[in-house]
Structure 1
Amino acid sequence: MKNKFNLMSLPLCGAKTRSGASCKRRGNKRNGRCKLHGGNSTGAKTEEGKMASRVNALKTFPSWYFGEPTPCHYINRAYNTFNQLVEVVNTKPIDWPHIFNLVKRDRIPLEILKYHIMTKSSPENFIMLQSILDAYYQEYNSKHLAFTLYAPIQELSQYHYPLSRPQREYLDHWLTHHYKKTFNH
């Protein structure tokens, strides 16, 4: 018969509450705090937070092999907004409130794909897009993205390059470890 874990063996949380007293809840084994004062995260809620979380996940994944393709809806949003921005910029007088509304709606896809847009159009369009993004950040006293993510756009040639021996060994080890962790509960 298995012994049940004694919850009373956990330390008290001890975090300072709004009333100034110490928290009387039992903490968890990992960090000694209760779920209200440092327990497990509920996850990112905003689009920017989810993208930052995705970047952190890529740090442990062998992305040099698979890459993490940009979601199709981001590509569509970025190119549609970029085309609208080009139209608005080429009309006189420039309607800055309309430009800022377009950027506000699709800022993250534009930031992620601005270098890809440059490769498909021109450096002048990249400078225009970067200038619009900078003007938006200045106008709304907003910060640039707190993370950097320039996800690759998968093209057919990327699937057929030879791996070096260390890359094959690392990939085999990673896949074996990940497969066991994910599918063997």
Structure 2
Amino acid sequence: MNGRFDLNSLPMCGAKTRHGIPCKRKGNKKNGRCKLHGGHATGAKTELGQLASRANAQKDFPDWFFGKPVKTEYVIRALSSYEKLVELMLADEIDWDTVFDVVEQDQIPLEMLKYYIMFNVTPEALIIIQSALDTYYQETHAPHLAFHVYAPMIVFHKFFRQLSAPDREYLANWFKKYSSRHPGYNW
């Protein structure tokens, strides 16, 4: 035996293709299927991954300018998590493991809506939420700002930032490119 792997020893995949004929690629040793027909569906599994996937599908559209509505589910989750955090953080002795569980489960809604909760519930809400988030990030060594690229963040209206020069330039180029593709549309 020469130690080399013999490709001819692999079975044909044989999965039914779109055209109705069996696939003629070589399958793998594990399950006999080729790379196209043999694995689990790929795709984002985590909430952050799904947000990134959705954003990448529409990466050219400047939705940050038009504003994205926040899902009602996120508002409900953030408010529910805030209530749990108040109970946990104001206890005589803080159970950090439970706090971390709450933050881990609803990190994205809490980050997204912490200013909304501050403005609509109480200013102290921001201190409670941010303290829980910061402690969680320190404990887990987590990069916590990555999701802001993919999701809207509700900002207190006094802190709203006007468009930066790169944002204005990108938006102008996008409108110019879009209007050239749709000549009858008036902006």
Q: TM-score, normalised by structure 1?
A: 0.55
Contact 2:77 2:109 in 1 (8 A): yes
CA distance, structure 2, for counterparts of residue 129 and residue 58 of structure 1: 31
RMSD between superposed Cα atoms in Å: 3.5
> Displacement, 1:66?
4.2
CA distance, structure 1, for counterparts of residue 111 and residue 87 of structure 2: 19
Q: 1:70 to 1:42 in 2, by over 3 A?
A: same
> Displacement, 1:127?
2.3
Structure 1 runs of 4+ off > 6 angstroms? none
Deviations 1:41-75 (CA, angstroms, capped at 9, x unpaired): 94322111111233445642242664221111111
CA distance, structure 2, for counterparts of residue 152 and residue 107 of structure 1: 13
Equivalent residue number for residue 98 of structure 2: 98
CA distance, structure 2, for counterparts of residue 99 and residue 148 of structure 1: 22
Deviations 1:12-58 (CA, angstroms, capped at 9, x unpaired): xxxxxxx9xxxxx9xxxxxxxxx78xxxx943221111112334456
Equivalent residue number for residue 170 of structure 1: 175
- Unaligned runs of 5+ residues in structure 1 are 1-18, 20-24, 26-34, 154-165, 178-185
Q: TM-score, normalised by structure 2?
A: 0.54
Equivalent residue number for residue 151 of structure 1: 152
CA distance, structure 2, for counterparts of residue 95 and residue 64 of structure 1: 38
Contact 2:85 2:99 in 1 (8 A): yes
Spell out the pairing of 1:62-77 with structure 2 (5 A cutoff).
62-63=62-63, 66-77=66-77
Q: 1:132 to 1:45 in 2, by over 3 A?
A: same
Question: Percent of aligned pairs with the same residue?
Answer: 48
**Count of aligned positions:** 130
- Unaligned runs of 5+ residues in structure 2 are 6-24, 26-34, 155-170, 183-187
Equivalent residue number for residue 11 of structure 1: none
Matched, 1:120 2:125: no
Equivalent residue number for residue 20 of structure 2: none
Q: 1:64 to 1:102 in 2, by over 3 A?
A: closer
Deviations 1:113-156 (CA, angstroms, capped at 9, x unpaired): 12222222344321221111110111223221423155266xxx
CA distance, structure 1, for counterparts of residue 118 and residue 153 of structure 2: 14
